[in-house]
Chains A and B, each alone.
Chain A
Amino acid sequence: MQYLSSAEITALEKKANVIRQSIIEMLSEAGSGHTAGPLGMADVFTLLYFALLKHDPDNPLWAERDRLILSNGHICPVLYATLAHAGYFPVEELLTLRKFGTRLQGHPHRQALPGIETTSGPLGSGLSQAVGMSLAERIDNPYSSKFFYCLTGDGELQEGQIWEAAMLAGKEKLHNLIVIVDRNGFQIDGYTQDVMPMEPLVEKFESFNFDVQEVDGHSMRALNDAVGKAQAVYGQPSVIIAHTIGGKGVDVFERDFRWHGNPPGKGPEDKIPKSDQARVALEKLRTLAGMIDKDNHA
Chain B
Amino acid sequence: MFADHLHDAVKTGGEVETVPTRNGFGEGLLEAGKRNKDVVALCCDLTESTKTHLFANEFPERFIQVGVAEQNLASVGSGMAAMGKIPFITSYAMFSPGRNWEQLRTTVAYNDANVKIVGSHAGVSVGPDGATHQAIEDIAITRVIPNMVVIAPADVHEARKVTLAAAKYEGPVYFRLGRSATPVVTTEESPFEIGKAQLMFSRNESLEKKVGIISTGSLLYNSLKAAEELQAAGIGASVLHMATIKPMDTEAVAALAAEHDALVTVEEHQTAGGMGSAVAEFLSETNPTKMYRVGIQDQFGQSGEPNELVEHYGMGIESIVAAGKKVLE
Tell me the A residues contacting B by CB distance below 8 Å: 67, 69, 109-111, 117-122, 124-126, 128-137, 139-140, 160-161, 164-165, 167-168, 171-172
Contact = CB atoms under 8 A, between A and B. Distances in A.
Contact of A125 (B64, B84, B85, B103): B103
Q: Which of the listed residues A67, A119, A126, A134 has the most CB atoms from chain B within 10 Å of its own CB?
A: A119
Given A131-B76, A134-B79, 7 more contacts: A118-B79, A118-B107, A125-B103, A135-B64, A161-B72, A165-B75, A168-B76
- Majority-rule SS of A interface residues: helix
B69 A168 contact: yes
Interface in B275-322: none
**Nearest 6 interchain pairs by C-beta:** A132-B79, A128-B75, A136-B83, A164-B72, A129-B79, A164-B69
Given A125-B71, A125-B75, A132 B102 contact: no
B315 to A, nearest CB: 36
Q: Which of the listed residues A129, A133, A135 has the most CB atoms from chain B within 10 Å of its own CB?
A: A129
B103 A161 contact: yes
A118 B115 CA distance: 14
Nearest to B85: A136
A163 to B, nearest CB: 9
Given A122-B106, A136-B84, A131 B71 contact: no
A139 B83 CA distance: 11
B131 interface: no
A186 to B, nearest CB: 24
B10 interface: no
B207 interface: no
B76 A129 contact: yes
Interface size class of B (residues with CB under 8 A): 20 to 34
Contacts of A122: 102-103, 106
A121 B71 contact: no
Contact of A133 (B83, B103, B110): B83
A119 B71 contact: no
Contact of B82 (A118, A139, A160, A164): A118
B80 interface: yes
B77 interface: yes
A215 B82 CA distance: 31
Q: Which of the listed residues A125, A135, A167 has the most CB atoms from chain B within 10 Å of its own CB?
A: A125
Interface string B35-47: 0000010000000
A160 B67 CA distance: 14
A165 B75 CA distance: 9
Nearest to B100: A161
B80 A133 contact: yes
B66 interface: yes
Given A110-B111, A119-B110, A161-B103, A168 B72 contact: yes
Contacts of B106: 119-122, 125
B64 A167 contact: no
Interface string B103-144: 100110011100000000000000000000000000000000
Given A117-B82, A121-B106, A125-B71, A135 B111 contact: no
A121 B83 CA distance: 21
B62 interface: yes
Given A111-B112, A139-B62, A168 B79 contact: no
B265 interface: no
B112 A131 contact: no
Given A139-B40, A139-B61, A164-B72, A133 B107 contact: no
Contacts of A134: 79
A177 to B, nearest CB: 11
A130 B79 contact: yes
A161 B71 CA distance: 6
Contacts of B102: 122
Q: Which of the listed residues B64, B72, B103, B106 has the most CB atoms from chain A within 10 Å of its own CB?
A: B72
A132 B80 CA distance: 5
B69 A167 contact: yes
Contact of A164 (B71, B80, B83): B71
Contacts of B215: none
Contacts of B52: none
Nearest to B59: A139
B89 to A, nearest CB: 10
A38 B249 CA distance: 47
B46 to A, nearest CB: 16
A137 B102 CA distance: 25
A119 B110 CA distance: 7
B79 A135 contact: yes
